[in-house]
Structure 1
Amino acid sequence: MITRSHIVNVLCRGNVKQDDLISGIMRSKASMTGIASNREPEDSHPSFLPTEEINEYHISKTGAKITTDSSISVLNQYCDKLPKDKYYTPRPKFQFTHYGDGYECTVTLPSSAMFQLLVGQKARNMQKAKQLVCLDACKRLHQLGALDDHLSPSVEEPPPEISSKSSISTPGAGLGTTKRKELHGTTKVLSMSGSWGSDRSVTKLQGYKLNFVCDQVGQKYSAFVLLIDASIAKEAATLDIDLYLHDKMVKASVSPCGPLELDAWQMEQTKLFQALLFNSLFGKLFIGSKASKTPREFILKKDDVFLWNKENMYLLLPVDSTLDSHKSVCINWSVIDVVATAVGFMRSIYSDGKCNLTDKLNYEKNGEDLIHLANKSCKGNDLKNMVVLAIHTGKIYTIVVVSDLCANSKFDGTTDKKEAKFRTFAEYFEKKYSIFLCHPLQPLLVLKPTHNPHNLLSSKNRDEDNVVENKNRANSLVHMPPELLIPLDLPIDVLRVFYLFPSLMHRLESLMLASQLRSEIAYRDSDISSFVILEAMTTLRCCEDFSMERLELLGDSVLKYAVSAHLFMTFLNKHEGQLSSRRQETICNATLYRLGIERRIQGYIRDAAFDPRRWLAPGQLSRRPCPCECPVNSEVVTEDIHRIDDKSIIIGKACDKGHRWICSKTISDCVEALIGAYYVEGGLKAAFAVLKWFQIETEIEEELIMEALSSASVRNYLPKVDVVELLEAKLGYTFQMKGLLIEALTHSSQQESGATYCYQRLEFLGDAVLDILITRHLFLSHKDTDEGELTDLRSASVNNENFAQVAVKHNLHQFLQHSSGFLQDQITEYVNSLESSSMDRASLLSSGPCRGPKVLGDIVESIAGAILIDSKLDLDLVWRVFKPLLSPIVTPENLELPRFRELNEWSDKNGYFIGIKCENRGDSTMAILNLQLKDLLLVRQGCGKNKVDAKAHAASLLLRDLEEKGLIIPRNASRVEQLEKNSGTVKHCNNVLDVMDTQNVAPPRQKEVAVLSTTTPGSVLDKPLVVKVKLSKGGPRISLYESCKKLQWPMPTFEFVKVEPSVCSSSCGSSQKVAPQGFAFASTITLHIPNGDVISLTGDGRADKKSSQDSAALLMLYELQRQRRFQVQEV
């Protein structure tokens, strides 16, 4: 045996790898020597001696098991999954007690574990005792659900009250997202239904008087009465609404006037009145045509039951103001009888299916200067402003003047149809309508036709729908033989009101639908306004003066708070990570979508702008039918029928059966908006009621609050006894349960010093508390702020960085209890950076952003949670404490957007692109941003702890450069200066394309290129850029836009000019659209090539602006190809 040996290792000088290997061997040797020298006597017994029985914990269901050997590893895995941060890593602690016959081990788990303390069984040595206590801890964790049946750390399962609620099968991904589109039905307004249309006895209907007052003197509107079967909700029955016409405003008001009775004859007359007027104005009185190869038929010739839908039954009748009183209304039967008589005359004309005037025109020949109408003779002076019905078209006109032409005059196309292939007016009516005029020498009448109804509900539409029509009104007058016109003797003030009905009745129906939803929710209907529920049902696509966006933002905060408080109180043993997981599962869009579908709120959502041309009154046929081609068999769709990613789908547009495509997220948003609506109207109690209706459990009983308070009473670890008193004085609030404040100040690293709790659970609750309080404050303080700016205000106020600054401002960080030197260093660095914020701006920009440690924001939230529990959920009290701490709260006047977003928005608005490159450099990130202007390339780099901070730093530097060049107003400039600067908006390429229009774009003509200015050449590409162009509408613009973005060229700008229709290119043949308005548009495109030329080209004339942009863009692409910059490929 060799008793002594020496091993010599020869290493290469400077070989680091071999040095590390030898050092590792030496450390292993020292470790093995130490273990052997400290081994217990029992561990050195021979292997043939009896050993202890191996303990294990076995799960029969899965076959998983834990032995004493693996128990320590499993317990460590469990602790590793507990909430942690870079200042503290949760792990078990072991304490041994020595007895004469062995050792006993006590394990202490982190405060976020399911339990904290467990004493193990005795064992012969410390290692065995440690294994036994770990095995017992694992058993208990499994029994408590912290370990699953595979004995791995449990993943928090969805709350059973959520996962089991929805019985509707919704396969596929994307629930609650904008990408998922679904086909849903529309809920009918039950109050509008009725079966009285076919009654032959006296019918009793509820009456509501409609009054109209115009803001222009002399413009009168007749009063009407709405007759309906059911009583309608109070808000609808007392509605006051402003209707915005082009050059005036009409205030409409609704008021109940009691029940009215109609006998069978009166009912028939009123139905004829309504059917004739609504169809002649907005619908059609004839069905069938030569084109459809069906005989032309007068719809009121016989039974008109098919015109009256039982789901939409009401009457709109004029009121006789001379007999009207405040308590009752008197229907103007004289007007109704005149219109009903006209229907009888039309029936007699079309008795055999064809227009037969010969036998009806029996006029006496006399010497008076009379104009012979279809059923009446009048003096020419009495015709002005008379309302007449054309027997051959079924349309209503107003007589303007008697012309000098007659039916034998040369035909000029100025009738109701612009035809130019007939010699005389008489020939036109003979060949077009098979009508032979009896009085061809009578002077023709100049008529003003009626117009389409407009959306009068929003002031936004005031100058949009009516401008073109008013410009061309003088050109829309037509000539008509008098004998084809039936005088209706309808007062102008009665006729005017019909143009108000589509908008007024749409708003009434919407309010009644909102009341219907309110009745379904069934929470003290009188306390909740139908107007607010209507707002919660209305999306931005409706183009109303209101939408669900603001309520959705508030409802999101209310939902988060309600769920957070309920989870906090209900699950006292769950840590912050588990609570956050359950909260996220409850409030995520996918869950809200399922709950909304369960309650069928998709049918109530209004998701498309009101189109008055598709609105139908009872008894009216649609001029713009949209036949149902949906993949469903019924009118009522109560679940997800079909999901599609087709971008050509028009969201919100309904077919005639009410089916429409809705984004899945819209349903989730409506759930949140309804929660917000009930909170605004009835506070938390009402919000909790609607949450319960959606089957979201949020109720908190008094016993749970007391239990949470009692659990905090054991918090007695406090290194500094005066901490509580000092902080209470600073907050201005005295805690009833001091342990809550102690818990709110204790970081998890303090467990190293013996604490058995930390602030994480209170921080989870306080996060939701401050969210709802600040959002409520912003919502109520800025009622005229749009939803986008309100979201920005909330984001600027509710964030960890803002709370961290609040903590430092009020020295709350000095009360933080922790045991991390690294954390202390970071806090000190952050405090110093804030204190030195008075240094010059250039130094701050060069140093980059300094973010506060998350712990500082956390303690602000945890203190808010502690006060809420201590005050037994008094949110108003928490706000009284925190409002001074959070002041000054951001306002629209001092709102500062994130720097990168500010730069991005400026670049988008001015047509520039930002190049972004990020690199990781150790613990930090560097971002390089380059901004190509027309004649200058700006490049800046920033650094930060992550990409967001690095890009923000670089963006700050670029914004400073733009300020110095006068291209952007500094942040400290006055509001007036900013508005003046922002008013000059660059017109750049509009890439909002109509994907439904697949009309081809004509190839470009040869044009002369105008070079406005030339700078030093430096933009010549190494090789031409391959550009693929689609000739469908929008294709050239998209290709040019994407090419500019790829090369970082400024976006092109467009200017429009009007040209004669003859200038329109016809190179596409029949596919080219003809300008119906009498003029065309030509676009001039200007492209600035950096360090190169400024190219300006004018495209061909087109019927619409976007098509003219396509023409100019395509011309620009081919010009760049001629300059060998691009290689254009048409696809």
Structure 2
Amino acid sequence: MIEQGNVKQDDLISGIMRSKASMTGIASNREPEDSHPSFLPTEEINEYHISKTGAKITTDSSISVLNQYCDKLPKDKYYTPRPKFQFTHYGDGYECTVTLPSSAMFQLLVGQKARNMQKAKQLVCLDACKRLHQLGALDDHLSPSVEEPPPEISSKSSISTPGAGLGTTKRKELHGTTKVLSMSGSWGSDRSVTKLQGYKLNFVCDQVGQKYSAFVLLIDASIAKEAATLDIDLYLHDKMVKASVSPCGPLELDAWQMEQTKLFQALLFNSLFGKLFIGSKASKTPREFILKKDDVFLWNKENMYLLLPVDSTLDSHKSVCINWSVIDVVATAVGFMRSIYSDGKCNLTDKLNYEKNGEDLIHLANKSCKGNDLKNMVVLAIHTGKIYTIVVVSDLCANSKFDGTTDKKEAKFRTFAEYFEKKYSIFLCHPLQPLLVLKPTHNPHNLLSSKNRDEDNVVENKNRANSLVHMPPELLIPLDLPIDVLRVFYLFPSLMHRLESLMLASQLRSEIAYRDSDISSFVILEAMTTLRCCEDFSMERLELLGDSVLKYAVSAHLFMTFLNKHEGQLSSRRQETICNATLYRLGIERRIQGYIRDAAFDPRRWLAPGQLSRRPCPCECPVNSEVVTEDIHRIDDKSIIIGKACDKGHRWICSKTISDCVEALIGAYYVEGGLKAAFAVLKWFQIETEIEEELIMEALSSASVRNYLPKVDVVELLEAKLGYTFQMKGLLIEALTHSSQQESGATYCYQRLEFLGDAVLDILITRHLFLSHKDTDEGELTDLRSASVNNENFAQVAVKHNLHQFLQHSSGFLQDQITEYVNSLESSSMDRASLLSSGPCRGPKVLGDIVESIAGAILIDSKLDLDLVWRVFKPLLSPIVTPENLELPRFRELNEWSDKNGYFIGIKCENRGDSTMAILNLQLKDLLLVRQGCGKNKVDAKAHAASLLLRDLEEKGLIIPRNASRVEQLEKNSGTVKHCNNVLDVMDTQNVAPPRQKEVAVLSTTTPGSVLDKPLVVKVKLSKGGPRISLYESCKKLQWPMPTFEFVKVEPSVCSSSCGSSQKVAPQGFAFASTITLHIPNGDVISLTGDGRADKKSSQDSAALLMLYELQRQRRFQVQEV
């Protein structure tokens, strides 16, 4: 008698029965003389010898070697592969026939005759071992062979990068950046007529009255169609501008025009975003105007193009007319600046030529104007090289008291005249004329994503009114530059960055060289872009799809190419081919690392041709050229900044990013051109996936010899259920046959078809989710695939459609497990509490396997028609999970809820026989929840316990039940209290001020049950982020709820530095103070407010440090500053 449902006892009885059957077979086949010792050899001892290694097999060891080989074949707990022997008796002896499992290299072999059955068995085993070695199943040491990587992969070993961690996030590598070839040109120094390709740039603002001048882009080469016809939305703080690009044909510039346009571009881009002067007193180099002599050093041949304004009054649809009047005015200003700085110093005295008549004239640097004509005039300051817009004429003059409101905020001068004299060695000629109030230009912003309308833009726009400066008119050169022309310059960094990125994507497309017209540069750009770029798109979705496409392509190729290899060998080869380390090597071979975009676009570091960088990043990398040809990597070095490039284009990239980009490119080509395009890019990466028609026919012919075991009506019934009629019935039979059926004479099983079907369902479901949920982010898309492509889901599909009734097997234990699982699903209508208490019941893997094997069988029978397979399986898999009904794994759901709300989960797992017990405890503010769960492994046990805890949280109203509507869940989630889960954000090295004595507010007091036996030693770094990290780690160690922070704006005067003195005024005109609240379980609720700080993170540090010292005062902590 055994206990019903006791898995351990079932396994024990099954093992006893198998042992009994094996001993009975051995005893019945034993010869009478075999039971007596043989003292003299009666026959010659045969052996098989390997001269290369010296290994040998004799007749005595042959049976053992053959058993070892079979033991390495695929198996499960329902079937153990082993050889079967049949004996034929002749008058002069015995002949033995061995039958190997279906996954072996061959199945049947007849041995030599021998005088007895034992000898005949040894001889056939020796012959079997010989043949296995000849077929490669045994190595030269006569041991079962380890599957070698495919030839196309092993051939890459010579170019593999040395070192550990290939294809992982731990390994950071230094790589260069691929140049955009279309941007290069050598025409900058031409003294003859230059012919350039023109592309008109139009801008339309969504605000009425906001006009933007059209421009023309002149470049040496023709650019890709997507870039040449680009339409893009540029997101400014309070408006949006639609930019469009259109070809306008070639334009010719003579030498004089070329010189004028270069001066126009160099002056404006440098005065707005770069610098017109080099050298300073601090660097002990003379100050020099960069355009006063040869400017060749400003123009890089690898980045050559012109951006020129268009005269809209003369413009037509077919051609563009450059606005030469604006260009000439700017070029003239350059000439005037050259004359001022001709001797290296600013010399205004001899250059001023004013109109003497008219007392209301304002004397500028090179002309005089009426005061009423100055408003909104664009001017250039001769001493700073910066551009301003005149706002109004002030009541002050140069002799007025200096208030620091110039372009440099200095407060140590008495008058404005003194400031310019001592700061710039400029002696004003008209100190009594009124100063002009100017609005300075601002830094360019990243306008490519609506996500970039951040607080920084808000702060800068709020403070622009406070940044007005006073300037003497005689230091200003009027540019007569229309405002609609000036506005466009702030759009150029973002627009040109996107154009350059599209050109780079088109360049990569040309290298791959597969029907360029069919593949969009936008999709390739998406495949090159990581999440770090903070764009509205990234490679993540394409990477997920490409992973499935790669898996399918490699699986189908291996299945067709190696008909004699079993599932284990095929899986090993597939894993070796598609692993990240292999993809990394293949990507490096094709140099795709140079194309990857792995950092957010910083428009302040963007450079136009002819511009000097205001924010240089000198190269300090350990390489001598722009191209990185050697292996430079770091493992687990947290000091490395990923993605940020130096001025030579060197940047650190995670090794895994290169692997991900390979998969994303495969996904991109599959989206744009289907499997043919995907196979083309796989071939470019030197991954062999093409399948010849002959291989398909050979696979079909091998299935035609399958024994027809089930009745005809059974097969027809299953075909009717599937809605598909097999041309080759043997494929369906193979798909339904478990390996244990070999005990009944079957010479095949479903394992190879399961290997193929696994990849088939993966690509079909992933493709469906990818196309059906285009607005779903990559994280949720991954969750959808995980919920759809798993053995448990497929097992439920098998039971739902009664596919398990067609399974061919010979295992009573397997039948019992299937019956138990089916009964558990049928009883799923019981109340939820009963289901939770019973723990998770997972289906036998066999049930999911037959769903996959049937998919593989249909694929082969239909000659690799994936669309047909999907038409068959979509009804079977329905309803397919959607974002609305997606259910996360229970432990993950609990973990995410805890992280979001600032709680910690305690986990303890214990093995209890064949099962695992998991104990989870969740400390809330005033309550400790403890639940335990059981399962076959840790995952199941934690899932069971998590389900019970989630039920407790639902009953307390802390989370919305799973059966609640989507709207209710979103409303609940949006109301979650913000906590300090961002303590590990980017830190800097500024010190945190020591805490001042603060009044502590105790909101509620309960029993002091949380008093520690001894104070917890807490080490605190005073650098930015240190107090938050220390408090966070202490709460986690004690399982206290995370503290929460609330921000208030305070006057900047209350900001204090590390020494307690007043800090410099916060740049935004106000400071932040944080109020921290900490709930101590079964204790106090402590709330206190820190000092004012210029940024929110620093204010959190101040409050966190005060909390640490308050806990020390209460003798809970012992704080040690380090």
TM-score bracket relative to the smaller structure = over 0.9
Q: 1:167: how far off? A: 4.0
Q: Tell me how far 1:1119 sits from its aligned partner.
A: 1.5
CA distance in 1, matches of 2:916, 2:406: 74
Which deviates more from structure 2 when the two are superposed, residues 800-809 or residues 635-644?
Answer: 635-644
Q: 1:53 to 1:219 in 2, by over 3 A?
A: same
- Give the Å deviation of 1:999: 2.2
- Structure 1 range deviating more: 1032-1041 or 724-733: 1032-1041
Q: Give the alignment of 1:78-477 within 5 angstroms.
A: 78-165=69-156, 167-477=158-468
Residue 558 of structure 1 aligns to a residue in which SS?
A: helix
CA shift, 1:1071, in A, is: 13
Question: Are the counterparts in 2 of residues 648 and 995 from structure 1 also a CA contact under 8 Å?
Answer: no
**Is the CA contact 1:557–1:768 (under 8 Å) kept in the aligned structure 2?**
yes
Q: In structure 2, do the counterparts of structure 1 residues 119 and 422 end up closer, same or farther at CA, with 3 Å as the change threshold?
A: same
Q: Is the 8 A contact 1:371 1:379 kept in 2?
A: yes
How far apart, CA to CA, are the structure 2 residues paired with 1:14 and 1:343? Answer: 92
Provide Cα deviations, 1:656-687, integer angstroms capped at 9, x if missing partner: 00000000000000000000000000000000
Q: What is the CA distance between 1:48 and its match in structure 2?
A: 7.2
Displacement of 1:1072 after TM fit?
7.6
- Return the alpha-carbon distance in structure 1 between the equivalents of residues 984 and 20 of structure 2: 74
Q: How far apart are the structure 2 equivalents of 1:613 and 1:104?
A: 86
Cα 1:1067–1:719 shift into 2, 3 Å: closer
In 1, Cα distance between equivalents of 2:846 and 2:535 = 44
Instruction: Name which of structure 1's ranges 146-155 and 462-471 shifts more when overlaid on structure 2.
Output: 462-471
1:501 deviation in Å? 0.3
8 Å CA contact 1:1000–1:1071 kept in 2: the answer is no
Give me the whole-angstrom Cα distance separating, in 2, the residues matched to 1:28 and 1:667. 52
Counterparts in 2 of 1:270 and 1:692: CA distance versus 1, 3 Å:
same
1: CA distance, partners of 2:731 / 2:835: 39
Identify if the C-alpha distance between structure 1 residues 638 and 545 changes in structure 2 by more than 3 Å, giving closer, same or farther: farther
Which string of whole-angstrom CA distances, capped at 9 and with x for unpartnered residues, describes residues 73-97 of structure 1?
Answer: 1111111111111111111111111
In 2, the alpha carbon distance for the partners of 1:11 and 1:1091 equals 49
Maintained 8 Å contact 1:597/1:639? no
Residues in 2 aligned to 1:35 and 1:720: alpha-carbon distance in whole angstroms = 34
1:143 Cα deviation from its structure 2 partner: 1.0
Q: Which runs of 4+ in 1 moved over 6 A?
A: 10-39, 44-48, 1069-1074
Give the secondary structure class of the aligned counterpart of 1:405: strand
- Work out whether residues 1001 and 1033 of structure 1, in 8 Å CA contact, stay in contact via their aligned partners in 2: yes
Contact 1:991/1:1037 (8 A) holds in 2: no
Change (3 A) 1:1000 1:26: closer
SS at structure 2 position matched to 1:1071 = coil
> Which of 929, 932, 940 lines up with 1:949 in the alignment?
940
Distance apart, 1:703 and its partner CA:
0.2
CA displacement, residues 283-338 of structure 1 (integer Å, 9 cap, x when unaligned):
00000000000000000000000000000000000000011111110000000000
Query: Residues 1109 and 357 of structure 1: is their aligned pair in 2 closer, same or farther, counting only changes over 3 Å?
Result: same
SS state at 1:235 partner: helix
SS in 1 for 2:864: coil
Report deviation, 1:963: 0.6
TM-fit CA distance, 1:126: 1.1
Report the secondary structure of 2:456's partner residue: coil
Change in Cα spacing, 1:1010 to 1:43, as seen in structure 2 (3 Å) is closer
Deviations 1:1102-1127 (A, max 9, x none): 22221221221122112112212122
Secondary structure (helix, strand or coil) at the match of 2:195 reads strand
The structure-2 alpha-carbon separation of the partners of 1:838 and 1:883, relative to structure 1 and needing over 3 Å to count, comes to same
Check the 8 A contact 2:176/2:627 in 1, yes or no: yes
TM-score when normalising by structure 1: 0.96
Task: Give the match's secondary structure for 1:1070.
Answer: coil
Residue 51 of structure 1, CA deviation:
2.7
- DSSP-derived class of the 1:466 partner: helix
The answer to whether the Cα contact below 8 Å between 1:521 and 1:690 also exists between their aligned partners in 2 is: yes
Whole-angstrom distance in 1 between the partners of 2:1013 and 2:115: 81
**Residue 171 (structure 1) shift:** 1.4
1:963 and 2:965 correspond: no
1:991 deviates by: 3.7
- Deviation of residue 819 (structure 1)? 0.4
Gap change, CA 1:949 and 1:994, over 3 Å in 2: closer
1:346–1:32 CA distance, 2 compared to 1 (3 A): closer
**Shift in Å, 1:464:** 3.7
Identify if the C-alpha distance between structure 1 residues 1078 and 30 changes in structure 2 by more than 3 Å, giving closer, same or farther. Answer: closer
Report the Cα offset of residue 267 of structure 1: 0.2
Cα contact 1:165–1:695 (8 A) shared by 2: no
Q: 1:267 to 1:630 in 2, by over 3 A?
A: same
The answer to whether the Cα contact below 8 Å between 1:166 and 1:598 also exists between their aligned partners in 2 is no
Q: CA separation of 1:21/1:582 partners in 2, compared to 1, >3 Å: closer, same or farther? A: closer
In the superposition, the TM-score normalised over structure 2's length comes to: 0.97
The alignment partner of 2:908 has SS state of strand
| Aligned counterpart in structure 2 of residue 68 of structure 1, from 59, 67, 70 | 59
Deviation, 1:38, is 9.7
Count of residues paired in the alignment: 1122
Aligned counterpart, 2:902: 911
Cα distance between partner residues in 1 of 2:123 and 2:1086: 83
Which residue of the partner structure matches residue 929 of structure 2?
A: 938
Residues 298/644 of structure 1: CA separation in 2 closer, same or farther (3 Å cut): farther
In 2, the alpha carbon distance for the partners of 1:202 and 1:247 equals 43
Deviation for aligned residue 1:998: 2.2
CA distance 1:960–1:375, change in 2 (3 Å): same
Once the two structures are superposed, what CA deviation does each residue of 1:965-995 show, in whole Å capped at 9, x if it has no partner?
A: 1100011111111111111122222444355
Instruction: Kindly state the Cα deviation for residue 1073 of structure 1 after the two structures are TM-superposed.
Output: 7.9
Moved more, 1121-1130 or 162-171: 162-171
Distance 1:1094 1:777, change over 3 A: same
Judged with a 3 Å threshold, the aligned counterparts in structure 2 of structure 1 residues 27 and 350 are, in CA distance, closer, same or farther, namely: closer
Distance 1:638 1:534, change over 3 A: farther
> In the alignment, is the contact (CA less than 8 A) between 1:962 and 1:968 conserved in 2?
yes
Structure 1 pair 385–110 and aligned structure 2 pair: CA distance change class (3 A): same
Q: Which runs of 5+ in 2 are unaligned?
A: none
Question: Equivalent residue of 2:156, what SS?
Answer: coil
Q: CA deviation at 1:404?
A: 0.7
Change (3 A) 1:21 1:307: closer
Is the CA contact (8 Å cut-off) linking 1:991 and 1:1038 kept in structure 2? no
Q: Quick one: distance in 2 between partners of 1:674 and 1:139?
A: 46
Alpha-carbon spacing, 1:31–1:891, altered in 2? closer, same or farther (3 Å): closer
User: Structure 1: any 5+ residue segments left out of the alignment?
Assistant: 1-9
Spell out, residue by residue over 1:722-750, the C-alpha distance to the aligned partner (whole angstroms, 9 max, x if none): 22111001111000000000000000000
How much has 1:70 moved relative to structure 2?
1.1
- State the distance in 1 between where 2:10 and 2:614 align: 91
1:636–1:945 CA distance, 2 compared to 1 (3 A): same
Deviation of 1:1023 (Å): 1.8
Structure-2 separation of matches of 1:385 and 1:1023: 70
Question: Secondary structure at the residue paired with 1:591?
Answer: helix
CA distance 1:29–1:704, change in 2 (3 Å): closer
Bigger mean CA deviation after superposition, 599-608 or 716-725? 716-725
Could you give the per-residue CA deviations for residues 1028-1052 of structure 1, whole angstroms, max 9, x where no partner exists? 2222221221111111111110001
Q: CA deviation at 1:68?
A: 1.1
Cα offsets for 1:537-557 (capped at 9, x unmatched): 000000000000000000000
CA contact (8 A) 1:925 1:947 kept: yes
2:1049 is paired with a residue of what secondary structure? strand
Specify whether residues 414 and 844 from structure 1 end up closer, same or farther in structure 2 by C-alpha distance, changes over 3 A only.
same
Task: Compute the displacement of 1:165 (Å).
Answer: 2.6
What are the superposed Cα offsets for residues 43-68 of structure 1, whole Å, 9 maximum, x if unpaired? 69997756312111111111111111
Deviation at 1:643, TM superposition (A): 2.4
Instruction: Name the SS for the 1:404 alignment partner.
Output: strand
Give, in whole Å, the separation in 2 of the partners of 1:293 and 1:806.
78
| 2:923–2:1081 CA contact under 8 A, matched in 1 | yes
Alpha-carbon distance between aligned partners in 1 of 2:563 and 2:10, rounded to the nearest angstrom = 53
Preserved CA contact (<8 Å) 1:1082 1:1108: yes
Instruction: Note the alpha carbon deviations across 1:155-203, whole angstroms, 9 max, x for none.
Output: 1111111121354341111111111100000000000000000000000
Structure 1 residues 1105 and 996: alpha-carbon distance in aligned structure 2, compared to 1, 3 A threshold: closer
CA spacing shift, 1:320–1:1018, aligned 2, 3 Å? same
* Structure 1 residues 100 and 277: alpha-carbon distance in aligned structure 2, compared to 1, 3 A threshold: same
Any conservation in 2 of the 1:226–1:314 contact (CA below 8 Å)?
yes
Shift of 1:1058: 2.3
Cα pair distance change 1:202/1:1071, threshold 3 Å: farther
Structure 1 residues 902 and 870: alpha-carbon distance in aligned structure 2, compared to 1, 3 A threshold: same
- For the structure 1 residues 705 and 1073, does the alpha-carbon distance in structure 2 shift closer, same or farther, using more than 3 Å as the test? farther
Q: Secondary structure at the match of 2:929?
A: strand
Task: Indicate conservation of the 8 Å contact 1:1001/1:1111, yes or no.
Answer: yes
What residue in structure 2 maps to residue 512 of structure 1? 503
Q: Distance in 2 between matches of 1:322 and 1:20?
A: 90
